[in-house]
Every structure is written in structure tokens, then in C-alpha cells.
Amino acid sequence: MSADDKRVNLLDFDEAGLRAFFTAMGEKPFRAQQVLKWVFHQGETDINAMTDIGVALRGKLQELAEVRLPVIIDEQRSTDGTVKWLMGFNGGNAVETVYIPEPKRGTLCVSSQIGCALNCSFCSTGTQGFARNLTASEIIGQVWLAAQALGHERNGRRRITNVVMMGMGEPLLNFDAVVSAMSLMRNDLGFGFAARRVTLSTAGLVPGIYRLRETLDVALAVSLHAPVDDLRTELVPLNRKYPIAELMRACRDYVSEKHKRSVTFEYTLIDGVNDHPEHAHKLVKLLRTVPSKLNLIPFNPFPGTSYRCSSAERIAEFQEIVMRGKLIATVRKTRGEDIDAACGQLVGKVQDRTKRSARIKLQMAETGP
């Protein structure tokens, strides 16, 4: 798209928004259903090829709108089958999107922002700083491009069975665009995923959790990483604003009544930092009041970090303690590590408005390796 092209990107609308768009054009709102079926069921992005829409309307529509997708800049494939794409946008920015195949499902990890403003100390994405929020079209476009690149089906089942908003960025800081994109993931005219197969992961933006509960039915994951406030604030600075007690109240509310399911708590195990038996016992006490599952994540190193992954023995001990406390706890298998596609390793290409990446590079140069 040229700089002076003012056409609307139809992928920025969910079904309700697209129906409103056609109504404002003086057209019947059912045209939205036709366009969505072409884009998501037929994989067609050329408006002129949407043949059940009249020629006159197609001409009018092409003057006002387009279907514009991100661009795949690079693709890397891991020895374990994981695939990572670098997807580019206007302005020279890019994000990383990861597909993780498993015997009975295929999970796509999608980004919501270019970089991240939260600066969690154990996450490589945070060291890149922050450029901007992604639009709804740039978010759903990652899913569309991945589906096309992978091919829709394997052994009669589609390759992408689950989508997790766990890539670059904090999804709840880009609420409207993320919800619009997830609505298309859920909608039968879009990708048609069930609620439990679309997961939003948050570092704990409490107001956003309450708002999400009232807006869209999707699964919730919370990046916890510590059972007490002082340690969590060190790892997740957002905890200063929304401490653990407030976060737990929001999580209990999310799974009550309307959302009768559990919250997945993510806990990255860092050697000597948050992996002691006392942390495990405190975690059991903390999560006892919330219907939940615990996802233990071995820390994935990245350049410049002083953190190390907990030993296999310490991870096993931690898991045993929390399971004795009647929590469901699984250890996430590290995938795509050879292509830097593992949890916490996504970096993309960020035109950093925060200048954080430059400050971190200067600190590394001053302190040495």
C-alpha cells in the first residue's frame, strides 16, 4: 500500500464491524458474510475474485477497501518441527510468529505488539523495547499467513488447532485490536475455533481481565512467575501496579459463573531465583482458591541475560511439591530452541520508541559479558 492509499483494510473488522461497514456504504449487511467466507474459507484476498458479489459492488469496494496482509520476511524450521516466521509491516517493523506441532494438535503463538512495554526481566522481547500496537488485521493476518504456509489439513485435521496470544507484546494493552482479531478466530465465518482453543496470555493487567470477561469467551493464561509480591515485582514490574492479591481476585472472577473453566498460570523456573521448595509451597497456598492449571516453563536463555535455567532435578522437585498440593502441573517441553523460537526468546525487528534496547546494549558494553 502506498503512503497516500487511504483504503480500509477489511481484516481490521470483525463480523459486526464489517456488517456496519457495508451498511454505511448503503449495501446489505449480509455482504460481510460473503467477504469473510472468501477470505477465511477460500483463502481469497483479491476482491475482484469474489464472484458472488456483483461486478458494480466489487468495483466500488475496490475503490474503498482492500484485504492487506503482513509479509513473510523469513521462515525458519527447527529440527523438532517448530516453524518460526518473521512477519513484516509498514515502517520497517516485524514480529515473530511460531507454530508448534504436536501429535494431537498444532499451536500457533501470535504476537499482539511490536516489542513490549512491560520489560519483564526474564523475557528477550522486553529488551527490544516497544514500537507500537499491532492492528487487528496484522494480528489475524499472522494466523491467515501461517495457515496458508502450513496447508490447512493434515490427516483430515487442520494443522492449526489452537491459537495462543503469547507472542510479542501484552495483549490486554492492545485490547480492541486483539479482541477483534480473536473474534475472527472464534467466528464460524472466520477460523471457527472453540473458546478453549483460543488463549489470551497476560502479565496481569487486572482491568483488562475484567473487561475481557464481559467481552469475549476465550481461555485465559496469566504469567505469574512468583508467589509473593516482592519477587514478582522484580520479575514482572507490572506487579507494582497490580499486586498478586488484586490479580487473584480478577482471576477468580474470570472463571466464575459465565466462564466455568480454569485459569492457566505460567511459571518460568529460573535457577536460584524462584525455584526453591518454599516458592512451590507458597504457590500451592496461593492458587488453592482459584480453579487453575500450572504450566511450569524452563527458562530459555538469551544474549545478555544473567539468568539460568533451573536444573532438571530442581524442576522435577518443584513439580512434585505442587502436585502433592493438589495442583495440576505440567512442565512445558522446550520447543524450537535451535531457532530461538522458545518461550521468552521472540525478538522480531522493533523500531524502539522507548530507547530501552539502546540503554540495555550500553549497559552490556559497560559491564562486559
List beta partners, residue 296. Answer: 267, 331
The residue from 15, 66, 96, 266 that is catalytic is 96
* Phi-psi label, residue 169: left if phi above 0, alpha if psi -120 to 50, beta otherwise: left
The helix/strand/coil state of 344 is coil
Minimal CA–CA distance to 290: which of 258, 328, 316, 317? 328
Told to judge if 320 belongs to the known catalytic residues of this protein, a careful annotator would answer no
Task: Name residue, grid cell 494480528.
Answer: 139
Q: At residue 33, what is the residue type?
A: Q
Is there a contact between 97 and 109 (Cβ–Cβ < 8 Å)? yes
* Backbone φ and ψ of 60, nearest 5°: -65, -40
Under 8 Å CB-to-CB from 2, ≥6 apart: which residues? none
Query: What's the per-residue H, E or C state across 268-305?
Result: EEECCCCCCHHHHHHHHHHHCCCCEEEEEEECCCCCCC
The residue from 109, 116, 120, 343 that is catalytic is 343
Told to judge if 251 belongs to the known catalytic residues of this protein, a careful annotator would answer no
Distance of CA 262 to the CA centre of its chain: 18
Rounded CA-CA distance 301/296 in Å is 16
Q: For CA atoms 364, 341, 122, 349, give the dihedral sign.
A: positive
Catalytic annotation, residues: 96, 343
